[in-house]
Amino acid sequence: MDVISVIRTKRDKGELSPEQIDWVIDAYTRGEVADEQMSALAMAILLNGMNRVEIARWTAAMINSGERMNFAQLSRPTADKHSTGGVGDKITLPLAPIVAACGAAVPQLSGRGLGHTGGTLDKLESIPGWRALLSNEEMLSVLESTGAVICAAGDGLAPADKKLYALRDVTGTVEAIPLIASSIMSKKIAEGTGSLVLDVKVGSGAFMKNIEDARELAATMVGLGTDHGVRTVALLTDMSAPLGLTAGNALEVRESVEVLAGGGPQDVVDLTLALAREMLDAAGLKDADPAKALADGSAMDVWRRMIAAQGGDPDAALPRPRAARRPRLRERCPHHPRRVRRRCRGLAPGCRPRAQGGPGPGRRGHRAPRQAGRQDHRGPAPDDPAHGHPGEVRVRPRSPERRGPDGPRGFGVHSEPDRAGPHRVTAGTTERGRWIPPAPLFSSTRASPRRDRRRGT
């Protein structure tokens, strides 16, 4: 068997056999298949898709590429959560300690930034001394002592996904639904969690731009989890505007701590509690109240113990973004004259260092500076009825007069949200919940960012 025949099969819209899938995943993990060949296969999958049988086999092959963990020795039931990512999506940071404070164990294996979205590990590394890489023994120890751990997947856990994850980020194949579903579920199933809640983002700031793609991805992942004996539930939540008031690694950590301290933006608090209730329900702790754990400070106590157990200093000051100022000529980037050298770093579109392999997001292993980010000090305008960016749309269930034969399972696109989402997807069913709108950075009734910069605010 050779990789060229596998690429040609998917290029010509054929179905990959189980033998082809098993071989190509194993060969790529061992380094026999080159990155450019796997890139071609990933692009063919993006363009032509995979059926349910192919996705299930691809996921199983990625799981079998490494070891599997077992948390049976823990004294608590396990529950995990995964988000498909968006702008300002910092929910994992306050969510894990809240759920742990309610009696569940949260083995949160997280990743780096992918595409335009920020990575949970990148955010937490803003805390001085914090370690993302833990051995299996260290992970179990932190889980038993604190109830929650947020760390990177070990080298032995789904190593095929680790290589493919980084490759997709630089080859324009991030949005492939089969690859998203298999990447997420291979790690979560190999991790050994007993239950899983998926936060599938939909909107202009998410990988899934429309509700149909988001529902397809959610149903695919729920099916994969159920087939492997993991109780899996997915929520479809809005990402047509950033979550909270901050976007950027250190800024989002600071905002998460504010939520744990009893403050923070309301949209972040609402979504965190909604996901916490789903996780606790899936773990069999239906009587636990996450709002109480947040209010009485027990969630903050778990956060501090968790950070300290992973080498971090929960009291350390976080890096702050530098205020923008007019640059002097000697600071300008020689490759991109309109950018400041220390602010460009090859990140600007069209900057030659990025295209030639410089330190930009087009290269594997790139990480955004910890202090980089943006904060909105004003919040959403109270008189903005759309509660979003001008010209953007919201996705919500159809109004009663527009419902089809499926009743509440129909969807429509509207300019204003109602209070009927997000949607909850379980094995074979879709239910409606409460809409949790995000807070936009800018709205139509406020000054533009360009005008703010001229004022120096």
pLDDT tens digits, 185-223: 998 999 889 999 999 999 888 878 888 888 999 999 999
Mean pLDDT score, 374-394: 40
Does 327 score more than 50 pLDDT? no
Binned at pLDDT 50, 70 and 90, residue 157 comes out as confident
pLDDT-derived band of residue 429, with 50, 70 and 90 as boundaries? low
Q: Which residues are catalytic?
A: 82, 161, 168, 183, 187
pLDDT at residue 227 tops 70? yes
C-alpha–C-alpha distance, residues 296 and 288, integer Å: 13
Q: Which of the four pLDDT bands, split at 50, 70 and 90, describes residue 358?
A: very low
Mean pLDDT value across residues 54-71? 93
- The predicted model gives 215-243 an average pLDDT of 90
What is the average per-residue pLDDT within 393-398? 28
Task: For residue 331, give the DSSP letter.
Answer: G
Which phi and psi (to 5°) does residue 250 adopt? -65, -35
What was the pLDDT predicted at 403?
33
CA distance linking residue 133 with residue 135, whole number of Å: 7
Closest CA to 370 of 253, 213, 238, 207: 253
CA angle 94/97/99 to nearest 5° reads 105
pLDDT digits 0-9 by tens, 66-104: 988 888 888 899 999 999 888 888 999 999 999 999 999
- pLDDT score, position 451: 34
User: Are the beta carbons of 443 and 381 closer than 8 angstroms?
Assistant: yes
User: What burial class does residue 253 get, using C-beta atoms within 10 Å of its C-beta: 0-12 exposed, 13-18 middle, 19+ buried?
Assistant: buried
Higher pLDDT, 363 or 153: 153
d(CA 43, CA 204): 22
Residue 338 confidence (pLDDT) above 60: no
Can you tell me the mean pLDDT for 402-417?
31
pTM, two decimal places = 0.72
Show the domains of the chain with their CATH numbers: 3-49 (1.20.970.10), 80-309 (3.40.1030.10)
What pLDDT, on a 0 to 100 scale, did the predictor assign at position 425? 67
For residue 323, the model assigns a pLDDT of 53
Residue 391, φ and ψ in degrees, nearest 5: 85, -10
In the prediction, which pLDDT does 372 show?
A: 52
Q: With a cut of 80, say whether residue 427 has pLDDT above it.
A: no
- How far is 101 from 110, CA to CA, in rounded Å? 20
Whole-number average pLDDT of the chain: 76
Please tell me the predicted confidence (pLDDT) of residue 321.
Answer: 55
Give backbone dihedrals phi and psi of 225, rounded to 5 degrees, phi first.
-65, -45
Whether 409 shows a pLDDT value over 80: the answer reads no
Query: What pLDDT shows up at residue 319?
Result: 62
Q: How confident is the model at residue 404 (pLDDT cuts 50, 70, 90)?
A: very low
Closest CA to 268 of 432, 109, 95, 431: 95
Name, in order, each residue with C-beta under 8 angstroms of 153's C-beta and a sequence gap of 6 or more.
109, 111, 161, 162, 187, 191
Confidence of residue 367 (pLDDT cuts 50, 70, 90): low
Chain centroid, CA 419 distance in Å = 24
CA distances to 109, 138, 155 from 134, rounded to whole Å, are 11, 6, 10
Q: Give the per-residue pLDDT at 257.
A: 94
pLDDT band for 241, please (50, 70, 90 cuts). Answer: confident
Q: Calculate mean pLDDT across residues 236-245.
A: 87
Q: Which residue has the higher pLDDT, 426 or 129?
A: 129
What is the reported pLDDT for 223? 92
For 121-174, give the DSSP string: HHHHTTSTT--S---HHHHHHHHHHHSEEEEEPPTTSSHHHHHHHHHHHTTT-T
